[in-house]
Structure 1
């Protein structure tokens, strides 16, 4: 090796010796820095994983909350729909009063077969089932069975409901009309006939005002709860054994406890008597004391149960008969138990019943099927007792279809002094009536009801003469 190269190698070796420690030190620093960075990255990754898990958890909770909200929204929508269906119509405002107009239009087509001859045209018995109008078959004067067909829209009804809030007081006025209740014949009322216009007078059914617990005006008698009336194509449905009276009254309602209410009323009196030998009922108009009624009602989610009592004075001024007793009176009384029991949570199916017994209550039962009392030839009133039974079952097949079965019965017991064995004075008086019916209703649209019904009814007299009717009805009704 040349000599001049040796010093250079020495210099290079020395520099290398001096540089190696620095390189080693530098390399160690880089490894430490990389390790620190790795730790920071691992820490950041861990943190990101934690945040990701938290985000996913929050997302799951949000999804669950959203699902719950959707479910609650659906439930709320259903509740709102039900509430809207059950809430009275808004109507319109007049000052501080809300006025609602409601009602229904109804067409009834009926075909009836009478075993004892026909019921005259344009009479109440042709428009609805009325047991006292069923002709009886008399072997001494036989008649052939008669079949009749009638169409009528007389049962069309509307009402006005006005409510106000006056400070802490609730005020309500209600008036209801239909075309069925007008008395008399079309000719007597100057109406049209079935031959031409079929026009019928408007008649007041109910008209009253309510101020807090008080009711003043005309309504269904407090002796009964009309909520027991069955769903029927007929005007009443099962009238034989039902209490059915509308009349003026003053009523007071007191809530005794949760679900328990007491209703007390003083109602219009009217003694409907008959004279021995003449079954025609007479409105005497000589009453002095009002009919007093009390009804205890217990209502809840199951339905309701009622217990009602009636006390009255029967009074007849028979001066025109020349009888020994110018004026005669006697007490009348009655008790009734009724109710409606729901069979499902939707209240679509139920059973309804009423049982009534009393003396001097003839005009309250079966549209006055029997007299309150019988005026004898000696000028005294003889008592008349009544037993009335009614039952109905309603079964909802679904939201549109339902079936109703109805049974009704009334029996009249006359005083012993009027027994047919001792006098023929009441031979032609009504003794009993009963009927059974079944129907099917279909609601293709909300507030539209289509119904078909068959009814068999029988009337029997004290002398055992009887007659029956088989009635077939078809009805269409739109509630508004």
Structure 2
């Protein structure tokens, strides 16, 4: 369905529904959406994968997407063999509204949801899964307020993969509520904080004890050859337990770039390193801080790296070669199962049958080592079909 038809069908329906709802609920004059443009977009994506684990059979969301911290480890290969999984949970729907105000200004609203990482489904009969909110924000002039990608992320340097993220180990990746100001390539934001802490007896604690938001600043320089983005995070790491308050400061820097080559290929690089990075990288594979038995509370150092090369075979076909890694500083007393380092490599082939319809095949190898010195690996072959609208 093209955009014109979407507007023709959705806009009157939405306006009518909202007007009736408001009138019934409040008795007030019906809302006038005549000047608001409403767009509906998203995609339907179906994934099928065969995964071979050296230890265990894969757990939780690691069966649906690649989650570095869920690669199981052990002293020996248990030889359980491979597992097959298929799902359509990544399918997503996005509503975007644009309302003209004060002459040339526009207020933009975005709401998006999918079905990954949620409960409510089973594979016995219905395969029904609960929707989850991904984005919910508004933009007005230079301001963004609401939940969306963290400002530290570089969306222009993300790599195309069959897996949900693809560069999961070595890329900053998080969505959260924030207030952001943007101007001429500069962005500064206050974002919702959350400290993850490890102790000598607990692998990870989400504290929710922060008293100030995370401060993030970035600058993006664009050129004919591509772009480069530099950024920094300044955050409070806080934990209150048994009447004691612990606090430390996390400081990290990031550098990312997409370099366009003359033949249409490109190179994508992302690096983030510093103290207290924690949940910002590796999809929560590392903690932000560690509390030992003597009461020492310190930020944990971590470094995330991604390098990828995309080759265009034709206007419709491309291949991505991807390496992604996360190295987390080891502190004496850490729970042995915590991640010390993890990496993944992958190669894919993605082909557009028509512009909105694509298929892809990807091979992934991932290996994880824990603080106690045990390691484990995963090999995965994944196929997908995707219809974007």
TM-score past 0.5 threshold:
yes
Report deviation, 1:343.
Answer: 1.9
Report deviation, 1:393.
Answer: 1.2
- In the alignment, what sits opposite 1:272? 196
Mapped partners of 1:475, 1:397: distance in 2? 19
Mapped partners of 1:88, 1:313: distance in 2? 47
**1:91 partner SS:** helix
- In the alignment, what sits opposite 2:131? 202
Query: TM-score, structure 2 length as denominator?
Result: 0.90
Instruction: Confirm whether residue 391 of structure 1 aligns to residue 307 of structure 2.
Output: yes
Mapped partners of 2:295, 2:365: distance in 1? 39
Report deviation, 1:98.
Answer: 0.8
- In the alignment, what sits opposite 1:72? none
8 Å Cα contact 1:109/1:149 also seen in 2: yes
Q: Relative to 1, partners in 2 of residues 1:181 and 1:205: Cα closer, same or farther, differing over 3 Å?
A: farther
8 Å Cα contact 1:129/1:234 also seen in 2: yes
Mapped partners of 2:376, 2:323: distance in 1? 18
Instruction: Confirm whether residue 431 of structure 1 aligns to residue 337 of structure 2.
Output: no
- In the alignment, what sits opposite 1:117? 56
Report deviation, 1:303.
Answer: 2.0
**1:443 partner SS:** strand
2:359 to 436, 447, 450: 450
1:176 to 112, 127, 133: 112
Gaps of 5+ in 2: 12-32
Instruction: Confirm whether residue 291 of structure 1 aligns to residue 214 of structure 2.
Output: yes
Report deviation, 1:284.
Answer: 0.5
What RMSD in Å do the two structures reach over aligned CA positions? 1.8
**1:278 partner SS:** coil
- In the alignment, what sits opposite 1:127? 64
**2:279 partner SS:** helix
Mapped partners of 2:216, 2:121: distance in 1? 40
Report deviation, 1:287.
Answer: 0.4
8 Å Cα contact 1:111/1:150 also seen in 2: yes
- In the alignment, what sits opposite 1:146? 81
1:361-376 matches, cutoff 5 A: 361-376=277-292
- In the alignment, what sits opposite 2:42? 103
**2:169 partner SS:** helix
Instruction: Confirm whether residue 380 of structure 1 aligns to residue 296 of structure 2.
Output: yes
Q: Relative to 1, partners in 2 of residues 1:216 and 1:149: Cα closer, same or farther, differing over 3 Å?
A: same
1:158-177 matches, cutoff 5 A: 158-166=93-101, 167-177=103-113
1:155 to 81, 90, 96: 90
Report deviation, 1:138.
Answer: 2.3
Instruction: Confirm whether residue 341 of structure 1 aligns to residue 259 of structure 2.
Output: yes
Report deviation, 1:89.
Answer: 9.0
The structure that has the greater radius of gyration is: 1
**2:122 partner SS:** coil
Mapped partners of 2:74, 2:177: distance in 1? 38
Gaps of 5+ in 1: 1-84, 256-260, 321-325
Report deviation, 1:90.
Answer: 7.3
CA deviations 1:325-358 (Å, max 9, x no partner) are: x10100001100001122248xx53211101111
Mapped partners of 2:262, 2:94: distance in 1? 30
CA deviations 1:388-444 (Å, max 9, x no partner) are: 110111111111111111100110113xxx33xxx4x43332100001000001111
Give the length in aligned residue pairs: 364
8 Å Cα contact 2:121/2:130 also seen in 1: no
- In the alignment, what sits opposite 1:229? 158
CA deviations 1:259-290 (Å, max 9, x no partner) are: xx1000000000011112332x2111110010
Q: Relative to 1, partners in 2 of residues 1:89 and 1:222: Cα closer, same or farther, differing over 3 Å?
A: farther
Mapped partners of 2:58, 2:161: distance in 1? 22
CA deviations 1:209-245 (Å, max 9, x no partner) are: 0000000000110011122221111111120001011
Query: TM-score, structure 1 length as denominator?
Result: 0.73
Report deviation, 1:88.
Answer: 10
Mapped partners of 2:112, 2:368: distance in 1? 32
Greater relative CO (CA pairs within 8 A, separation 6+): 2
Greater fraction strand: 2
